[in-house]
Amino acid sequence: MHILNFHFQNSLMLYATLKLTHLVNICFCIAEDKAAQSLLNKLIRSNLVNTTNQVEVLQRDPNSPLYSVKSFEELRLKPPLLQGVYAMGFNRPSKIQENALPMMLAEPPQNLIAQSQSGTGKTAAFVLAMLSHVDPSNKWPQCLCVSPTYELALQTGKVIEQMGKFYPEVKLMYAIRGNKLERGMKLQEQIVIGTPGTVLDWCQKLKFIDPKKIKVFVLDEADVMIATQGHLDQSIRIQRMLPKTCQMLLFSATFEETVWNFAKRIIPDPNIIKLKREEETLDTIKQYYVVCNSKEEKFQALCNIYGAITIAQAMIFCHTRRTAGWLAGELSKEGHQVALLSGEMQVEQRAAVIQRFREGKEKVLVTTNVCARGIDVEQVSVVINFDLPVDKDGNPDNETYLHRIGRTGRFGKRGLAINMVDSKFSMNILNRIQEHFNKKIEKLDTDDLDEIEKIAN
């Protein structure tokens, strides 16, 4: 797919420069943190997340038949699009796509609110819908997609380019900062992807886009969108300029009340598709705790554990960046291949670290929770809480504990979790976590090699 005015290479260079200022201290800002997390997940994901949960569908018109498809052929896609889908390695629609695609491709167009966790095929679904609805002989924007950040817009743009590879008549334009167009010009590209502020300017102030000619409007990552100041209002202002006949689609990885309220406000008469995230449990996890007096003692206990059992890969969580950095240094000195995820790293550096760890190039990943939140590293069999998870009020963070060491049914492999306790305070946290999950956490004496060896069996 050819892009006028804005080549992807340029965009990457610009991205590299801009993100230097933009992404520093990313961990301290909730909205940016959410956006970064979402981008990280996209950058490191190589395939679909498959869940065993059933899709829940709420149809606007309960009397119309409910279509779902098991193959891409059934959708009667244009041949270059089917070719694009197969070239991407997709053999059949994902769970959410089975229901969402027929709805999005139906005539007359149907509005949709879809929620499912990251990696379940939402982006691919709406990209296919946009490409299907475009009339390439019309040289004006017909599909408009808004993403919460510059980086996420580029990422989705890449999917449009990939899927539209065999459909070169359809052109794409990025409505993102840095992409300056001549005043008075009218866009000829059929698909525009961008961030709310720039899209709004291009529709309203600069009039590069005639919003009345838009047939499909996509609001991606609604949960990240509403976390960013101003994006909610801008999205609503864009939506108000669109014709009544325009198909409106909203996607979100999570569905808290705020997202739901926003979705209902912006998508009239929606169909709703939900795919629940699989619950994690501690059922197949052996949990232990080790009593120490200082971080040095905790490190020694860790060395003893490493000396006694074979650990293929471990993830170690620390409370602060400082401890994580120190621990990674100490472990390296001991000859371990250590990867460190730290808050000051840019998002792509973090993605590269996780990727290397996933590939097994490093055996230990030391991280703070902020950095690792939302990232599933399923193959890790040992998780060490060098510091126990606490919330900002100093109470046990049970949810984080479960997320760090819990497993979904699918990855029900047995796992091992070791908690390091170094004070009355952390002992109290441990006890409360134990009570919360009603699961015993056994004491482990790390000076006793025989005892450590036993836990590996």
Ligand X SMILES: Nc1ncnc2c1ncn2[C@@H]1O[C@H](COP(=O)(O)OP(=O)(O)OP(=O)(O)O)[C@@H](O)[C@H]1O
**Stretch near ligand X under the rule CB under 6 A, chosen from 90-98, 192-200, 201-209, 313-321:** 90-98
Told to check if 76 binds ligand X by CB under 6 A, we report no
Pairwise CA distance, residues 81 & 405, whole Å: 41
Binding pattern to ligand X, positions 227-266, x when CB under 6 A? --------------------------x-------------
Specify the pairing of strand 143-146 against strand 191-194.
Answer: parallel
Q: How far is the CB of 32 from ligand X (least distance, A)?
A: 17
| Beta carbon nearer to ligand X, 169 or 278 | 278
Quick note: the x/- pattern for ligand X over 100-119, rule CB under 6 A, is ------------------xx
DSSP string, 238-266: HHHHS-TTSEEEEEES---HHHHHHHHHH
Within residues 25-44, the interface with ligand X by CB under 6 A covers: 41-42
User: Does residue 149 touch ligand X according to CB under 6 A?
Assistant: no
- DSSP, collapsed to helix, strand or coil, labels residue 367 as strand
Among 37, 53, 99, 123, binds ligand X (CB under 6 A): 123
Q: Which of 8, 90, 326, 437 lies at the binding interface for ligand X (CB under 6 A)? A: 90
Residue 47 sits in the site that holds ligand X (CB under 6 A): yes
Which residues, 6 or more positions from 82, have their beta carbon under 8 angstroms from its beta carbon?
A: 72, 73
Least separation, in Å, of the C-beta of 343 and ligand X?
Answer: 21
Could you tell me if 325 and 340 are in contact, meaning their C-beta atoms sit under 8 angstroms apart?
A: yes
- Mention every residue, 6+ apart, whose C-beta is less than 8 A from residue 238: 144, 146, 196, 199, 200, 203, 211, 217
Q: Please state the closest distance from residue 327 (CB atom) to ligand X, in A.
A: 30
Choice between 41 and 132, CB closer to ligand X:
41
Angle, CA of 121, 123 and 129, to the nearest 5°: 105
In whole angstroms, the minimum distance from the beta carbon of 268 to ligand X comes to 23
Cα 313 from Cα 356, distance rounded (Å): 12
The single residue listed with the structure tokens 């004006």 is 140
Residues in region 419-448 near ligand X by CB under 6 A:
none
How would you write 415-457 as a 3-class SS string?
EEEEEEECCHHHHHHHHHHHHHHCCCCEECCCCCHHHHHHHCC
Query: Which of 7, 45, 186, 436 contacts ligand X by CB under 6 A?
Result: 45
Closest CB to ligand X among residues 124, 388:
124
Q: Which is nearer to ligand X, 67 or 437 (CB)?
A: 67
Contact call for residue 122 and ligand X (CB under 6 A): yes
Rounded to a whole number of angstroms, the minimum distance from the CB of residue 123 to ligand X is: 3
Measured CA to CA, the distance from residue 222 to residue 255 in angstroms comes to 9
Which residue stretch of 120-128, 210-218, 224-232, 383-391 sits at the interface with ligand X (rule: CB under 6 A)? 120-128
According to DSSP H, which parts of 134-276 are helical? 150-163, 196-203, 222-227, 231-241, 257-266
Residues of this chain that interact with ligand X (CB under 6 A) are: 41-42, 45, 47-48, 88, 90, 93-94, 97, 118-124, 253
